[in-house]
Structure 1
Amino acid sequence: MGRPGRLARAAARHPAITIAVWAAIIGGIVTVALAGVGGQGLFSRLDSGWTWAEGESTHADELLSGGDDQSSTLLVHGVDTADPELTGLTAALAAELAELPEVTVVDPLALPRLPDGTPPPQAARLFADDGDGFLLPATVAAVDGSVDDTTVDEVDARLTDAAERIRDRFPGAVAEVGSTALLVDSIVSLSENDLQRGETVALPIALLVMLVVFGGFLAAGLPLVGAIVSITGGLGALFGFTYLMDINTTVVNVVTAVGLGLSIDYGLLIVSRFREEAHAHVPADRLSAIVRAADTAGRTVLYSGTVFAIASLGLLLFPLPIVQAIGLGALSVTVISILSALTLLPALLAVLGAPLLRPGLLTRIPGVGALLRRFGDVAPEEGLFSRLTRRVQRHPALVTLACAAALVLLAAPVLQLRLANTSVDSLPATSQQYGFQSALRAHFPAAADQRVVLVTETEADAESWAEQVARLPHVVSVAAPEQAGEAWQAAVRVAHRTGADVVAAIRADRPGFPHWVTGADARTVDFAATLAAGAPWAALVIALGTIVLLFLMTGSLVVPIKALLASALSLGASLGVLVWGFQDGNFAGFMRFDPDDVLGVDVLVVLLTLVFGFGLAMDYEMFILSRITEQVERGVPDAEAIARGLQRSGRIITSAALIIIVVFAGFATGDLMVIKQLGTALAVAVFLDATIVRCLLVPAFMTWQRRIMWWAPAPLKRLHARFALRD
């Protein structure tokens, strides 16, 4: 009996204690972390600000901002800026705000005009391009490196009240308030809504799939119990991490989706193996069936969870807080999913095992029962997957090459991949700040966040550099330099979706004086460069960890390398679909987004798709390999072992993949573009992996190369004989 079996036996022998401990832990997390009883809850501690990479653009932004001050802005458009009633209202507002501590207000309507009636040049950005609007900024100065949140909230409240009065007195006018605090509140609200929507879509469909698999509500509900426990535990871990680091709202959605997918996978595997073991030994000894299930399927859960944990650890090697936070969250929810599968599920099986072994109520319904038995969790010796495998084995080389070619074709759009930051570029229309941001870009382009900005220490340097940059391809114009903070800046207007190319061209021909390039596209370029710098180490750790684990499991070096190559093909194909769907706008209609707002694929989505997509792919690799290895160790010929292994694992893999696809598709219905893209990418990756890769490519390649499939050098074979991970 292995360690998973001993752990499961201990939990199954004392089920009441095990269930009570888990209930107490989850109840405490719900009370403290989610409900916020006695203090702040998780969602009130989240940060929606984007964590940029330390680099050239970050330093330039620090020079331009001049400190940690926070500004809120009243935007008004569609009015006569000379209207006496309007000027009186803004004057009174400015006087009110100026009385607050550390607040500086600029009332553009009170500034003296030039003889021709135009505003002074230094205030030009505060007026709309068509002259029918203005911006009234109020800045709360930082004291000892921080601002008073109470003052910030008071400024936002008074500006919001003024916006309402302007809309009442000037029908048809646009009056919106924008600030960092309001943007944070808006994105946190969207994140919560996306989370609830994703779970609302995913959980009922997941239950329906498991009803088909298990034929009854009781068995189908156990993996969902594990999912709820894992998600709650993961969110509790994130709550603890908020006291150590900033946790972005995106992290919550990612961890929830990952926890839901993993725990349902593991629950399906454990429950189905328990039923298989119980039916294979009649009369059924419930405790023995639980132990055998843990020593086989439970060990597979442990191995696949370890691979996913290794992938999550790879994220910690990137020097970016948001990526590290996602890695810590994913690692936490993976550990909790494994523990719940090896302790809580055995305890529940000990209590509910007898009813689970009887046919469910749904199987007694005429017509439905036959269907459920056909797609049940315990596979017959021969069936769809074994027949499919034997057909594939007739022409293994041809099938291998055809599958590889199809995946490469799907991956082709990656060659036109453009990286973007959708958190900045693609604020959804449902956001409370959408009206402010869209009006700012439309009517006050000089005040909006610029795509590319030149920063220098002197005005003369800015002027000479602007002349040089104006001649570059894709540059439409360069604005006149203006002073900001401790430096001078010149905004560069670029053609749509060419900002990253312009940044690269500017940085390729550096001037001889102190200079920096910033702006939305420059920040994205720096963020991507930082990720690229950490990628080799992360890839090395993930690849080596996977190779070592699969080698100890199978005794082969070919199997791990095959697994890495197959995953690379499916992940490349999923990114290709992502580029085609979002960057090229082909998903815009049914996924409800404006293709002009999507400048490319979110740089964070690319990273997380590769890491989590790989981890999920290894789940199915483990499911299949554990079954094939069982057959090989029993002396079954290789080709037959592959067919039997796929037959035994095919139903569970298909069911688990369908549920995970539903989970990620549910999150793809959300409003935040980063979650929409990530959900789509992972759903596509799982679909491709569970169909083309696991059902066709893997059995074809293993059959084609079966003579070398289990090869390893003699020294490594001796090492495997001593340290092998066996069921």
Structure 2
Amino acid sequence: MRVGPLARIGRASAAHPWLTLCGWIVVLAIAVSTALVGATGDSLFERLVSAAPGADGEAAEADELLSANGEETESLTLLVHGVELGDPELASAASALGDNLAKLDHVDFVNPLIVPTLPDGSRLPELAPVFSADDQGVLFTATIEGVDGEDPDAKLVDEVAAELRASADDLRAEFPDATVEVGGGSLLIDSIVKVSENDLARGEMVALPIALVVMLVVFGGFIAAGMPLAGAIAAIVGALGALFAFTYVMDIDTTIVNVVTAVGLGLSIDYGLLMVSRFREEYRAHGPLGRDHRLDAITRTADTAGRTVFYSGTTFGIASLGLLVFEPNIVRAIGVGALAVTVIAILSALTLIPALLSLAGDRLANPGSLTRIPLIGKPIARFGDVAPDDGFFSRLTRQVQRQPALVTLACAAALIAVGSPLLNLQLANTSVDAIPASSTQHDFITTLADEFPDARAPRVALVTETESDAEAWAAGIESLAGVQSVTAPAQSGDAWRVNVQVDPADGIEVVHDIRSDRPDFPNWVTGTDARTVDFSESLIGSAGWAVLVIALGTILLLFLMTGSLIVPLKALVASALSLGASIGVLVWGFEQGNFAGPLNFDPDVVHGVDVLVLLLTLVFGFGLAMDYEMFILSRIKEQVDAGVDAREAIATGLQRSGRIISSAALIIVVVFAGFATGDLMVIKQLGVALAVAVTLDATVVRCLLVPAFMTWQQRIMWWAPRWMKRLHARWGLRES
């Protein structure tokens, strides 16, 4: 039997299964001990960062001007609201806190209560932001300075935080009806990391058991069902180990862990399902039984399904590669992580799964224990068996083939209709707007926003070099739509800043309006919404290159696989329709608030689709769609190469791949739906978007649109120019 390199890898893994397993166990043990336990120092979650996605641009330049003080600092704040500011117990607690912090080097403490008022009884204007609008609250701030340009000492920050928390506990005991919270940048990061850990655990607890149930039904037994799950666990642990290694060369955001883990889980289960299903088919199609027969079946599986896995993983890798052309670090980090986990999923399918198949032996060919259960055993046995040559998917395809043009146009129209809310798309930054209620910083941030609006980080701010320029510019934008008020100019670093109060839903539009009508002196616009605009524009500026990389890479791979130019173009158009529909659902559900009840979020703090979610949905959704494209095309191409009529090849190819595609899609939908139950809004939105994209792709696109279009245009489906045909004859990818 002539075999290719993938088949040799699979056969070698199956011929030495215990050696292969030991190798995987060693690798995964290293990943667990370093990434999760932290045997070599900090664990993965201790090395993560958490910050709003940003990019180099106008806002970053303005922030640099405003912070030009030569030293790095960090501020922690004790918020007290709902007390009389003249209460002697409050004054005593603040004084005691100040005395304790004064004992620490490089720590400055601001107690606004001891600053004398002006002769008319009013407070100094620069202190106004630290008092609440109802005069029932105050902010006490401790600033920790770094030394010699270094970041503040982490132990010192922890010590200051402990002092603030101790004071907060005393104040809560003294004023039980008051709101007393401690907050700050590092505390917010810690809380988001904790939420991320909980979301990851929750997503896996939801996804893995349901995935096991689905695979039990698909395969009819625990042994076969457990193999893709074993590959998934290996991919998850391997992904965490890879991300841990990457923390030493780049910043890894908390959300990246959830994204990469969910993607790796979905891919590895897809590939495991395909390998186990094809092994059963090959095992039963060729006799006699025995070890050599088992090795031959595994070899053929690796040479066919393994090749499909390799192609599918390569297309997903191409999609992930497109992320590397973007400038923001968080996008590149996701791209690197996705590439790593894709490689792990492929290796797991090509080495770990063959080893497990070899150890399982003939038991995979026998009916599983579930098939002996009364009532449900017979349906499970039928569904868990090798797909027959004629069944639901072939009959569905033949029905579609009766009116292929009508079905094609109807499916396209339906997907366009579902995607129509996309016309009202608004971009947002949910990492800033939608702090999870489960975060320990939620109460601090919401109280700060409600009661101390001038003390929070401005959504929009004007920056100039002189005070007079700031005053003139502020006067000119007060009448803009969406602007509620402007503050007096304040000097900061090497510049002057004017905070512009806006409704969070209007901030991005206000930034665009201000930047579209510039004054004639040096000026910058910064703030939370300005950074979101810069981040969005950075992504848009690189989107063309990303599309080019992904489209050309996909066209090249599908052409080398099929010898057709029409097939890859069809794949791109079909994926665009399903992805557009999934973004439309995202807009309808989150931006318009229709998912607020089922997914338990406050629609008033979600002002649009997160810009990062939009990008990742397009990239990862496309990669997953190409997975199923490869599953179908590999089967159809087998039939075409064997001389089967084009219409019958489509029906047979869909019949032989439909069950696996449906099962894999169901599992991956469960995976992403499980992560959508988390608290981080960016993960919630991404989970919903990818679950919808996979659902539409596996049903409307793969079961209806693809067979209808391929039948309708069967005369040109396998066409390519002669010069491309010659290239395919020389370099084309073929089954061995």
TM range (shorter): over 0.9
Contact 1:377–1:652, Cα closer than 8 Å, also in 2: no
Give, in whole Å, the separation in 1 of the partners of 2:85 and 2:64. Answer: 33
Residue pairs, 1:308-707, within 5 angstroms? 308-376=316-384, 378-707=386-715
Among 39, 42, 58, the residue aligned to 1:40: 42
Give, in angstroms, the shift of residue 217 of structure 1: 0.5
1:245 aligns to what SS in structure 2?
coil
1:316 aligns to what SS in structure 2?
helix
Give, in angstroms, the shift of residue 85 of structure 1: 2.0
2:384 aligns to what SS in structure 1?
coil
Among 20, 24, 27, the residue aligned to 2:26: 24
Give, in whole Å, the separation in 1 of the partners of 2:188 and 2:675. Answer: 21
Among 95, 102, 107, the residue aligned to 1:91: 95
1:184-243 per-position Cα deviation (integer Å, ceiling 9, x unaligned): 110010000000000000000000000000000010000000001111111101101111
Give, in whole Å, the separation in 1 of the partners of 2:233 and 2:700. Answer: 31
Structure 1, 672-681 or 43-52: larger mean CA deviation: 43-52
Aligned length: 727
Give, in whole Å, the separation in 2 of the partners of 1:672 and 1:33. Answer: 22
Among 247, 251, 258, the residue aligned to 2:263: 258
Residue 214 of structure 1 is matched in structure 2 by 219
* Residue 197 (str. 1) matches residue 202 (str. 2): yes
Give, in angstroms, the shift of residue 51 of structure 1: 4.1
Residue 171 of structure 1 is matched in structure 2 by 176
Give, in angstroms, the shift of residue 484 of structure 1: 2.5
Give, in whole Å, the separation in 2 of the partners of 1:224 and 1:672. Answer: 26
1:349-370 per-position Cα deviation (integer Å, ceiling 9, x unaligned): 1111211111101112232222
Give, in whole Å, the separation in 1 of the partners of 2:462 and 2:93. Answer: 37
1:306 aligns to what SS in structure 2?
helix
2:332 aligns to what SS in structure 1?
helix
The letter for the 2-side match of 1:159 is: L
Give, in whole Å, the separation in 2 of the partners of 1:36 and 1:356. Answer: 39
Contact 1:451–1:521, Cα closer than 8 Å, also in 2: yes
The letter for the 2-side match of 1:87 is: A
Give, in angstroms, the shift of residue 485 of structure 1: 2.8
5+ long unaligned stretches in structure 2:
none
Structure 1, 443-452 or 676-685: larger mean CA deviation: 443-452
1:47-88 per-position Cα deviation (integer Å, ceiling 9, x unaligned): 112341011111212222345311111110001111122112
Give, in whole Å, the separation in 2 of the partners of 1:515 and 1:98. Answer: 39
Provide closer, same or farther for how the CA distance between residues 615 and 377 of structure 1 changes in structure 2, counting only shifts above 3 A: farther
Give, in angstroms, the shift of residue 91 of structure 1: 1.7
Give, in angstroms, the shift of residue 154 of structure 1: 1.0
Give, in whole Å, the separation in 2 of the partners of 1:127 and 1:259. Answer: 48
Contact 1:466–1:478, Cα closer than 8 Å, also in 2: yes
Give, in whole Å, the separation in 2 of the partners of 1:716 and 1:553. Answer: 12
1:474-507 per-position Cα deviation (integer Å, ceiling 9, x unaligned): 2222222222233211111224511111111111
* Residue 280 (str. 1) matches residue 282 (str. 2): no
Give, in angstroms, the shift of residue 714 of structure 1: 0.5
Contact 1:16–1:347, Cα closer than 8 Å, also in 2: yes
Give the alignment's TM-score, normalised by structure 2.
0.98
Give, in whole Å, the separation in 2 of the partners of 1:88 and 1:18. Answer: 67
Residue 148 of structure 1 is matched in structure 2 by 153
Contact 1:363–1:369, Cα closer than 8 Å, also in 2: yes
The letter for the 2-side match of 1:296 is: T
1:105 aligns to what SS in structure 2?
strand
Give, in angstroms, the shift of residue 570 of structure 1: 0.3
Give, in whole Å, the separation in 1 of the partners of 2:40 and 2:509. Answer: 51
Give, in whole Å, the separation in 2 of the partners of 1:496 and 1:144. Answer: 38
Q: Percent identity?
A: 65
Structure 1, 218-227 or 445-454: larger mean CA deviation: 445-454
Give, in angstroms, the shift of residue 450 of structure 1: 1.8
* Residue 224 (str. 1) matches residue 229 (str. 2): yes
1:290 aligns to what SS in structure 2?
helix
Give the alignment's TM-score, normalised by structure 1.
0.99
Among 49, 52, 67, the residue aligned to 1:50: 52
2:481 aligns to what SS in structure 1?
coil
Contact 2:367–2:381, Cα closer than 8 Å, also in 1: no
Residue 64 of structure 2 is matched in structure 1 by 62
Residue pairs, 1:123-138, within 5 angstroms? 123-138=127-142
The letter for the 2-side match of 1:263 is: S
The letter for the 2-side match of 1:317 is: V
Give, in angstroms, the shift of residue 176 of structure 1: 0.5
The letter for the 2-side match of 1:92 is: A
Give, in angstroms, the shift of residue 468 of structure 1: 1.1
Give, in whole Å, the separation in 2 of the partners of 1:49 and 1:491. Answer: 21
* Residue 305 (str. 1) matches residue 309 (str. 2): no
Contact 2:404–2:711, Cα closer than 8 Å, also in 1: yes
1:675-716 per-position Cα deviation (integer Å, ceiling 9, x unaligned): 000000000000000000000000000000000000000011
Structure 1, 672-681 or 148-157: larger mean CA deviation: 148-157
Give, in angstroms, the shift of residue 163 of structure 1: 0.8
2:529 aligns to what SS in structure 1?
helix
Provide closer, same or farther for how the CA distance between residues 485 and 377 of structure 1 changes in structure 2, counting only shifts above 3 A: farther
The letter for the 1-side match of 2:666 is: L
Provide closer, same or farther for how the CA distance between residues 229 and 716 of structure 1 changes in structure 2, counting only shifts above 3 A: same
Residue 81 of structure 2 is matched in structure 1 by 77
Residue 11 of structure 2 is matched in structure 1 by 9
Contact 1:130–1:443, Cα closer than 8 Å, also in 2: yes
Give, in whole Å, the separation in 1 of the partners of 2:561 and 2:281. Answer: 22
The letter for the 2-side match of 1:7 is: I
Contact 2:322–2:335, Cα closer than 8 Å, also in 1: yes
1:515-552 per-position Cα deviation (integer Å, ceiling 9, x unaligned): 11111111100000011111111111111100000000
Kindly report structure 1 stretches of 4+ aligned residues shifted beyond 4 Å. Answer: none
2:491 aligns to what SS in structure 1?
strand
Residue 251 of structure 2 is matched in structure 1 by 246
Give, in whole Å, the separation in 1 of the partners of 2:84 and 2:479. Answer: 38
Give, in angstroms, the shift of residue 264 of structure 1: 0.2
Contact 2:672–2:687, Cα closer than 8 Å, also in 1: yes
The letter for the 1-side match of 2:227 is: L
Give, in whole Å, the separation in 2 of the partners of 1:204 and 1:119. Answer: 60
1:71 aligns to what SS in structure 2?
strand
Give, in angstroms, the shift of residue 448 of structure 1: 1.1
2:140 aligns to what SS in structure 1?
strand
Contact 1:377–1:651, Cα closer than 8 Å, also in 2: no
RMSD of aligned C-alpha atoms?
Answer: 1.0
Give, in angstroms, the shift of residue 377 of structure 1: 5.3
Contact 1:191–1:253, Cα closer than 8 Å, also in 2: yes
2:325 aligns to what SS in structure 1?
coil
Give, in whole Å, the separation in 2 of the partners of 1:66 and 1:82. Answer: 36
Give, in whole Å, the separation in 2 of the partners of 1:527 and 1:2. Answer: 45
Contact 2:53–2:535, Cα closer than 8 Å, also in 1: no
1:449 aligns to what SS in structure 2?
coil
The letter for the 2-side match of 1:679 is: G
